[in-house]
Chain A
Amino acid sequence: MKYMTINNRKVAFDDEKNVLSVLRKAGINLPTFCYHSELSTYGACRMCVVEDDRGRIFASCSETPRDGMVIYTNTPKLQHHRKMIIELLLASHCRDCTTCHANGTCELRQLALQLGVSYVRFKNYKEQVPIDETSPSIVIDQNKCILCGDCVRTCEEIQGIGVFDFAYRGSKMKVTPAFNRKMSETDCVGCGQCRLVCPTGAITIKTNFRPVWEALADKNTRVVAQIAPAVRVAIGDKFGLEKGRNAIGKLSAALRMMGFDEVYDTNLGADITVIEEAKEFVERLEKNENLPLFTSCCPGWVKFCENKHPEMAKHISTCRSPQSMFGAIIKEEARCNPKDERKTMVVSIMPCTAKKGEILRPEHYDDGEPVVDYVLTTSEVSRMIKEAGMDLSQITPEALDMPFGIASGAAAIFGVTGGVTEAVIRHVVGDSTSATLADISNIGVRGTAQVKEFEVTVGDRDVKIAVVHGLKAADELLTKMEKGEVYYDFVEVMACKRGCIAGGGQPLPFGPRTKNARYKGLYKIDSKSQIKISQDNPIVMNMYDTILKGKEHKLLHNQK
């Protein structure tokens, strides 16, 4: 064991990769803008500076811990230093804090307050540039960028895309896509992971709640909400509910009070996805063609595959995503019921910014009409609830509406990496005894490893499966597959690390502990659910005999 002295106290350390980690382990939470444990160390923001016994000042994030180090973290010199850095960052930063979308989550503003910056001495000479709203998922406001590079490294190192990088230099430096392109002209998949790490309002969600408010107030519009699995374990964050707690009942009540006419569960769409995807998989297995099958639930992944591995895109399942299947059913139901003269509008409540782009794609239209009209992220709905003067913690939970309000536990776990696969395996195996379910959960499908590989016996065949999350890991896996180094029959990909629970539209801030709580929350919903397998969902099976009869292909699969 090695030791260092931090603020006159002896602290043991082991193999921490930098001094900052040792400090945080010792309970001293130095501020950082550019440091994220999952990303490479950049050392640019200088907020984590510390002083040693010789008066040397250095950034703790980029210093390797050494035995016998003597470190001070809060000397007057350091206090002065940090305050000055904040002042300089604010010097060229937009100061419209009251109207900023990151108001309340902005780390820059929080630190300015924490460090007692009450006045900025410097005038902002930075050239103001127009806001880029061309992406359906995120909005880029470079005037609020502090050049921490978090988005640059997230996009490159986690997602393997590299939409932006630093360009130009000195006072002209900025973070921008190549050739100053607009976001809509880049390979951005809309996952919104950059928005999660952005410490300011430079990257925010493209909001859609204004038109939804309009529709809610319109008597001639029937507004139907559907709630994605990962939303229910995150919506409580902004209202002081316990992290990871299932707040679907409270959310359902709040949505009704806001004026939604019907509130349903996207999990029902997930159940149908399981059945359709399993059907497609078994068919392909029997014919032994077009394998592997790639999952199609995650729009970030679908777009990534089309952009970067176009020749592999034919392996993507033809199944629509759960939100689209569900939207298509609602719209079809409305078409079959001409007595109701109201216009039907489907609003999806999603943890995801990429879903906003998905609904614009032509294959998610039926009869010239979008199957989903608007996607609202968990964050936007939190804001809407607050805007309406409600507090989720005080609302009495209400059940979802029927007939589309019952779903299996297998659908709930769609929100975590491995969930789709586990649900499909359960369906293919078709046995809901607890022993079988336990066997399936231990097969290697759960957990947070970047790539999970395992085999399942289907009929007389050993099926090779891979589950991957984070697009860079997916990219590497696909490259290996292209080279023929590995082979799989079924591959599940989720763009966001750990799955939808950490989606780009989830309420900020959240770190590893919250992610764990959400992860456990979804598995808890599954374990408490009476229906464990999608085909045991009575509503779904009934739908195959009624509304879906003869229309499975039209409503549930991509129209190309």
Chain B
Amino acid sequence: MLDKSYYEKADEIIAQHGAEQKALIPIIQDIQNEYRYLPPELLSYVAGKIGISEAKAFSVATFYENFSFDPKGKYVIKVCDGTACHVRNSLSVLDRLYTELGLSKDKVTTDDMLFTLETVSCLGACGLAPVMMINEDVYPAMTPDKAAEVIRKLREEA
């Protein structure tokens, strides 16, 4: 059971969009923006409020890669592994970040909740390949060393 404030926040968001079935996606997007992840309890709560089954809400939330049931770090790093980035060696950037952060394909968030590392299939910036994003900022033409440097700076700032 989450703290009461979570449900109050959810109520507020539901009120903004209207308690209708069609509002499911905007509601859970806003919840995810608020908490950087989608708490499963809130997904169930929203389903009940807008009158759909939990299974249906789960179906929608798992269909989109964007929704995450696990809490994410302060900095969400998205390394692009689309075709253009891939041929320009994005995997070596990814590997370096895994080592640098002590993460792996199965463990994507650092224990201090600072970094979450994900791959995406295209960021739509193929001219800047290999590219990565950290929260809303775009980092073009990455190399393993440049990526490690970015991480070091963010750690210092934090």
Contact = CB atoms under 8 A, between A and B. Distances in A.
Given A156-B53, A162-B53, A178 B63 contact: no
Interface in B113-132: none
Contact of A165 (B44, B58, B69): B58
Dominant secondary structure at the B interface: helix
A119 interface: no
B55 interface: yes
Task: Report the interface size class on chain B.
Answer: 10 to 19
A415 interface: no
Contacts of B69: 179
Interface in B32-51: 40, 44, 47
B9 interface: no
B54 interface: yes
B99 to A, nearest CB: 28
Interface residues of A, number: 15
B63 A165 contact: no
B55 A163 contact: yes
A167 interface: yes
Contact of A166 (B47, B54, B59): B59
> Which of B40, B54, B55 gathers most chain A CB within 10 Å?
B55
Contacts of A176: 55, 58
A165 B56 contact: yes
A152 B56 CA distance: 10
B53 A165 contact: yes
Nearest to A164: B55
Interface in B59-84: 59, 62-63, 69
Contact of B58 (A152, A161, A169, A178): A178
A168 interface: yes
Given A178-B44, A179-B40, A167 B62 contact: yes
A177 interface: yes
B13 interface: no
A179 B57 CA distance: 10
Contacts of A178: 44, 47, 53-55, 57-58
A370 to B, nearest CB: 31
Nearest to A180: B58
B62 A169 contact: yes
Nearest to B44: A178
Contacts of A162: 52-56
A167 B55 CA distance: 8
Nearest to B52: A162
A161 B53 contact: yes
Contacts of B54: 162, 177-179
Interface of A: 152, 156, 161-169, 176-179
Closest CB pairs A-B (n = 8): A162-B53, A178-B54, A165-B55, A165-B59, A178-B58, A167-B62, A178-B55, A168-B62
24 contacts: A162-B53, A162-B54, A162-B55, A163-B53, A164-B55, A165-B55, A165-B56, A165-B58, A165-B59, A167-B62, A167-B63, A168-B62, A168-B63, A169-B63, A177-B54, A177-B55, A178-B47, A178-B53, A178-B54, A178-B55, A178-B58, A179-B40, A179-B58, A179-B69
